[in-house]
Every structure is written in C-alpha cells, then in structure tokens.
Structure 1
Amino acid sequence: MPLIIKKRGATYYARGTVAGQRIYESTGCSRRADAHAWATRYEYQIMQRHSLGEEATLTFAEAALDYMNAGGERKHLGKILDHFGPDFLARDMNNAAINAAALDLYPTAAPATITRQLITPIRAVITMAAEDGRTQLRKFRTRGSGAVRTRWLHPEEFETFLDQAGAHLVPILAAMVGTGARVSELLRTDVKNFYAETGQIWLDETKNEYPRMLKMPGRARDLILAQGIPAQGKLFRRPDGKPYTLTPRQTPMKTAFQAARVRAGLGPDVIPHSLRHTWATWFYCATKDYGGLLDLGGWRVSDMAQRYRKIAPDHLPDMLAAQGWDFTRLGRDIPAPDPNLVASQGLHLVK
C-alpha cells in the first residue's frame, strides 16, 4: 500500500505500511509535490532493504545520523554529508570516494588536515555501523609524510621548564601537564569550577564541544594553589592579574611560553600542545588505563590516542615518582594538600 501524505501544520507527514513495516514520519516538506517525491523515494528504500538486506541499502547519511545520535563527534560531518548527499551508500565508501571528496572539500589542505577532518570522521561512522552489523568493516588510507614524532617531555625536562617559567605561567603549565587540557580550555576556566579538595577542574567549554571533568595529581594541584587563587572569575591570569583574551588566530601566553622554553634549553619542537602529549604519555605509562586516558583526554575516536601506548620507556613511572607525579591517586584518592597552602587560600576542605 503506497504511503499516504497528509499535511499537519506547515509540514506533510507520510503514513502507511510498506513491506510489513508501519510508517508514520515527517517528510520535512511543505509542498505537496516535494512530499510525494520524498514518500516515493522512501518506499523504494524500504523495498530495497526488504529484498536485499540492510547491508546493501544502508546509506552513509543514515549511518552518520546513528553515529551522532550515539554521541559521536559531529564537528566535521556536516560538510561531508553535504558532499555525499542523502543517497550515497555506506558500502560504496572507499578510498576512491574519499579522494574525490578531498578534492572537492579540501583542495589546498595539508594531508594532516584531510586525515583529521575527512578521513577520521568517515572511518568513525563506518566502524560503528560495522560493529552494529550493518556494513562491512574496512580500512581507509590516511595521509601524511610518514611517521610523525610525538614530542613529549621527560620529567626532568618539565622540571627545568617549570624552573624557568614566570610565576604566572607555572600554574598553567602544571594544569596542562597534570590534566592534558588544551590552553584555550584552561584559560576559559572559572575559579568556581576548580575543586582543590579532589584536584578536579570542570570544563564546560571544550574544543570538541563535549564538557568533561579533569583530574590532576597532587603535584599539579599544589603548584596551582601555591601561586594563589583569585577570589572569582577566571582561574588562570596574566602577570597583571587580568584574564587572558582568547582569539581564534592567536595563542595566549605564546611569548612567555617560548621565553621559558629557550631558557630551559628546549628546542622549537616543544609547543604548548606538547604538554598534552606529555600528559597522555605519563598518564598511560603510570596507570595503563586506556579507558581513563580517552575519557580524561576527551578523545571521541580511540585511534587518536593509540600512539601514547607505545612511546614511553619502561622506567618512566619511576622517573615520575621521583619528581612527585603520581597519576595513580586522582579524584577522591588524591593526597591532601599542604595545610599551609589551604590556609593561605582561605579554602575549606570537605572531609
């Protein structure tokens, strides 16, 4: 029985039974002719799926919608879906299709950008659909100029870096290496979202738009407390006590970071993002908690964090312990801060 369309308000709805499946859905159309075309195509899709099976008829758009509804990262999927359209089949997604999309969407982009903004989102959608038994799992070729070195700091390097940093920079560096948060995420943090008792920071503004709770070891928490906590407003401040101004094209504290790096004898390959690499390397090596690494680091795609499982020497936990970086005691298990620090900040610790 063909679908019947009826207008409710400004939108036409389709109702009926196709291949034993009861249908009642909005067409999203306000013109009757458009609604009829939508219903005809939808009936065809259902009949195709009924006769050929879901794997043969699943569209990439359907798989992407399910991925996003399950909490998957949607930041770059809009452009991808606009390119492939509503009818492109998931089974037809391959390296050739991705190459064509790259030429259309990112004709002048660097290989790493194409991998991050095109290939990685597509791979995540297809992988989830495959895990649900709706399509075949496959490999997609990433782009790059070979293996990229992940620059992270050994504990001794970071201690030297801290020694050479200005007083206002120390708590920011401690928070970065203690939590893995990005510079922009930390500089947006309000004092009210810093919990000294458990060494936690709540991020309600993140790069991937998913809020998360950070956890830091006692060493990082104590370095933050030692520099003083503002009574209100932003937690981390400039040398003049004012909040940092965040702009899309400028890295806050860049000048102070580079000056401290040079004084510490570290090369130009050490950039603010290196401290995120450092945290991930330290955290995983100390805990072997891959799930915790993904959750605390805010990665929605596990492939992005695989590298940190393979790059640290076996004795790194001993090196961390020697400098007081204990990632095995976080949250409620964090050691109590120095009472003198607590008193100086006017903090009341909840027992």
Structure 2
Amino acid sequence: MGLKLLRRGQFWYLRGSVCGTHVYRSTKLENRRLADALRVRTEREIAEEHAFGVSATKTFADAAEAYLASGGSGRFLEPLLSRLGKSRLNAITQNDLDAAARELSPNAQPETRNRQCYTPFVAVWNEAVLNDWARSRKWRRPRKPKGTRVVRSVARTGTAPVEYDRAATFVATMSPAPAMLMTALFYTGLRPIELFALEAPDIDIAKRWLVVRSSKIGEPRGVPLHWFLAEWLGPLVTRGGIVFRTHKGQPYPPTQGGGGQLKSAITGARSRSGIMDISPYTARHSVSTQLVVNGIHPHIKDQILGHAVDDMSRRYTNVPQRPMIEAIDTLPVPDAWRGLPWVADPLKWVNRLVEGTGRRTDLERDVSGG
C-alpha cells in the first residue's frame, strides 16, 4: 500500500502501511517536497527493519537521543553528533571513531581525546546495546605511547594521586559537609557527579554496598562501601533523600564539569592547609593508584571505578561482591581522618562551618555535652 501524504492544518502527515506496519504521524513539515522526501525515507527504513531488524536502521543520533532521555550527560556529545550522527550504528567501525576523534580534537593529548570523544561515544553505544540496536563490543581507546613523557607547561590539579595522610590533612581543614563528601570520594573512587546524585535507597550499610543509578558510561553499577564510610554514613542514609548536601541542607547541583560545586570549600581548604594539589577528582586517582599499590587485581579495580562494562558486571549491579568489598577495605584510614569530630555524629556537625567561614562554629569537639 505504501505511505501517502495528507495535509492536516499547517503540517503534512504520513498515513498508510509498509510491510504490515501501520503509520499515521505528523512530519512536522510544511514544505511538501521535504515531507515527500521524508515519506520515501520512512518507507525505506520500515522495509529494511522488516527485512533485517531494527538495528539495521538505527543511527548514532537515535542512540544519543535515547541516551539523553535515560538521563545521560550531553557534555561533549554535540561535536560527536555533527560527525557521526547520521551514521548507522551497524556501519560504525573503530576506524570511524578514531577518525572522528582526530578531527574533533586534532591537538589534544590522548587522555583529553579519550575524555571528550571516546567516553561519550562509548556511553551512547552502551545505550544502543541496551536497546538491542547494536552489538556489545570493546572499543579501543587512545593510550600514551610507552616510554614517552609529555611535559605540560601548567599542571592541572586532580590529575594525580596523593597519599592518604596528605588527603586527611587537607580534609581536616574543611567544614563538615564538604569534608564528608570529599571523604566519600576518597573511599569509593566515585566521580563527583555520581556522588552528588546518590540517594539514601542507593546505600545498604549492612551489606556494605551502594548502587550508582546513572553513571558516566550510561549504565547502573554497584560499588563496595569501605568500612570507614560504613562507620558514620548511617545517620545520613536514615535522614533520607540526597545523601550528601551542603551545610545549608541543599543538594549539590549535579552538573558535569568537575567539582565547581565545591569550589569555595576547596579554595578555603587550600588556603588553610597550604596543600594546593587536591581537588575532587584527586580522590578518584588516589583510589585507583592505591588499589594498584595494594596488589588488587586490575579487573576488580576497574569494576570498582566503573571502567568494566562486561555483561556479568551489569547483571549483578545490586548484588554485593565480596572481592570488591575486600579490595576497597585495603584503602588506608589515617588516625587523623578517623579522629575528625564529625565522624562520631555527622548529623550534629553537618550544618557547622569551619573557623573563618561564615558563623563562628569552629571544628573543636563539643565539651559542653550539648
């Protein structure tokens, strides 16, 4: 029968059936020539889907739209869409991805190209896999050549690990609310945006497990809960809602872009501690490095940090994994960190400020018993 164009108000509509699929929808086009071109394309896509399956017609743009609808981040996606948006998923190759990355970031370092091109592409691809539009596959990412050293003129904080004693000294100079958040980052390896969105039902203190519902790779994942966090997180979980909040009780805005939500707290801690090389992302690098130093198997380390995307890891998102819990427990806890006053009663301290910031509610232990 095929599809026909019908005028309804200002727009042209498609109506008819192709290969048993009935269609009646607006083209959202006023121009008949453009509407007719859409009619021809729609007929072809329906016929191909009927013959070869839906995966034969889905494009990278379709997958990106689904990824954004499921709560994925649009950061860095626009350039990729301009380069690969019209490409059918089943036709995209490793060479196509590499060529797009070179074109979009011709002068970037491998790690920058990985972050701005490969990571958002893989997140969209994983969404397509979940929708059965594409097959699961391992995409090769850029690596820094072995034996080379790239000297940067300006070092950027957050790109290198620090010792946990140093991190403890830094966190000790922060107000309790941001100190709690930074502590959680150093003992989970989560990305800041993942921690900002964490809600009480996502954490099971007894089972030492938490679930990130929407991660950077576009899939939920399970994360082990370090014993130190299990010691004091309980009251924040019992409170309900968003777990980590500002001293005013407001959620941290879940914005991509790297810790701007903690800028004032980080700046103040640098001034008070004299430590200038710590930012929210420092925690993730520190967790990764410390796990390697502790002899943790790379596969377990990657699962903890959310790098692993194998089917088995996704299938058991909500199931606590004993090897992962044992691995995260190898992260050291300096006495100075465990001895911070808010650890004993986080809800009592969460609205206080460190000396010199706002109200004078200094971080000294309350000896009055009040």
| TM-score, structure 1 as length reference | 0.57
1:155-184, CA deviations, whole angstroms, 9 ceiling, x for partnerless residues? 534333345x3xx55653333123578789
For 2:279 and 2:44, the matched residues in 1 are separated by 54
Contact residue 261 and residue 270 of structure 1 kept, 8 A: no
Q: CA deviation at 1:21?
A: 0.5
Change (3 A) 1:276 1:173: farther
Residue in 1 that maps onto 2:45: 45
Q: Could you tell me which amino acid in structure 1 is paired with residue 5 of structure 2?
A: I
For 2:247 and 2:266, the matched residues in 1 are separated by 26
Contact residue 2 and residue 17 of structure 2 kept, 8 A: yes
The count of corresponding residues between Structure 1 and Structure 2 is 282
Contact residue 290 and residue 331 of structure 2 kept, 8 A: no
Residue in 2 that maps onto 1:156: 165
Residue 320 (structure 1) aligned with residue 326 (structure 2): no
Residue 176 (structure 1) aligned with residue 176 (structure 2): no
Q: CA deviation at 1:22?
A: 0.7
Residue 20 (structure 1) aligned with residue 28 (structure 2): no
**Percentage identity across paired residues of the two chains:** 25
Change (3 A) 1:129 1:174: closer
Q: Could you tell me which amino acid in structure 1 is paired with residue 333 of structure 2?
A: L
Q: Could you tell me which amino acid in structure 1 is paired with residue 115 of structure 2?
A: R
Contact residue 177 and residue 247 of structure 2 kept, 8 A: no
Cα RMSD (Å): 5.5
Query: Any residues of structure 2 matched to 1:325-340 within 5 Å, and which?
Result: 337=345
For 1:81 and 1:7, the matched residues in 2 are separated by 32
Query: Any residues of structure 2 matched to 1:60-209 within 5 Å, and which?
Result: 60-86=60-86, 88-145=87-144, 151-153=160-162, 155-162=164-171, 165=173, 171-178=177-184
Change (3 A) 1:25 1:138: same
Q: CA deviation at 1:140?
A: 1.8
1:218-237, CA deviations, whole angstroms, 9 ceiling, x for partnerless residues? 65899xxxxxx99958799x
Residue in 1 that maps onto 2:356: none
Change (3 A) 1:106 1:13: farther
Q: Structure 2 stretches of 5 or more lacking a match?
A: 150-157, 206-214, 218-224, 236-244, 253-257, 295-299, 315-321, 353-360, 362-370
Contact residue 178 and residue 217 of structure 1 kept, 8 A: no
Change (3 A) 1:122 1:157: same
Q: Structure 1 stretches of 5 or more lacking a match?
A: 200-205, 209-214, 223-228, 237-245, 327-333, 346-351
Change (3 A) 1:153 1:104: closer
Query: Any residues of structure 2 matched to 1:238-277 within 5 Å, and which?
Result: 251-252=263-264, 255-259=267-271, 262=274, 270-277=278-285
For 1:230 and 1:53, the matched residues in 2 are separated by 49
Residue in 2 that maps onto 1:241: none
Contact residue 232 and residue 343 of structure 2 kept, 8 A: no
